[in-house]
Amino acid sequence: MQSATQTAPVSKKRLLAGRIISALPVLLLLFSGVMKLMKPPSVMQGFAGYGYPESLILVIGLLEIACTVVYAIPSTSILGAILLTGYLGGATATNVRVGNPAFIMTTILGVLAWVGLFLRDDRLRALIPLRK
């Protein structure tokens, strides 16, 4: 019998599913962060539409990439998920404030980050045990 703090080892199928689900937010956020660093005109116009000064795009892009990298490293993935939750919460609030329906995408990315992590990390499953 397992105690509340013990979990079964991650099965290969669960680990693979977790990695695939986690890859989607990682790839999309890295792409988004790199585009902010490259500053193409379409990104700059979109950024201006949110009401943020152009001088912040570099900082926000670096922050986005840093949070994503911390999430992608297995030993720091829980901290990374917490950081991504904050980052994506701000992105969601910004999209809602300007009436952009993209807030659904930022919310889904946050949920996918946690679902993927839950499937691949037994430490998180020990913190949030789901009963059958």
pLDDT of residue 1: 41
**Locus of tokens 């917490």:** 82
Model pTM score: 0.86
Answer yes or no: is 131 within a domain: no
Answer yes or no: is 3 within a domain: no
Alpha carbon distances (Å) from 69 to 6, 89, 107: 28, 18, 19
Answer yes or no: is 57 within a domain: yes
Answer yes or no: is 84 within a domain: yes
Q: Which domain holds residue 122?
A: 12-126
pLDDT of residue 111: 97
Mean pLDDT of successive 10-residue stretches along the chain, which has 132 residues: 54 92 97 96 92 93 98 95 97 95 95 95 82 67
C-alpha of 53 from chain center: 24
Count of the separate structural domains present in the chain:
1
25 burial level (CB within 10 Å; 0-12, 13-18, 19+): buried
Alpha carbon distances (Å) from 98 to 95, 102, 118, 128, 130: 5, 10, 32, 35, 37
Answer yes or no: is 1 within a domain: no
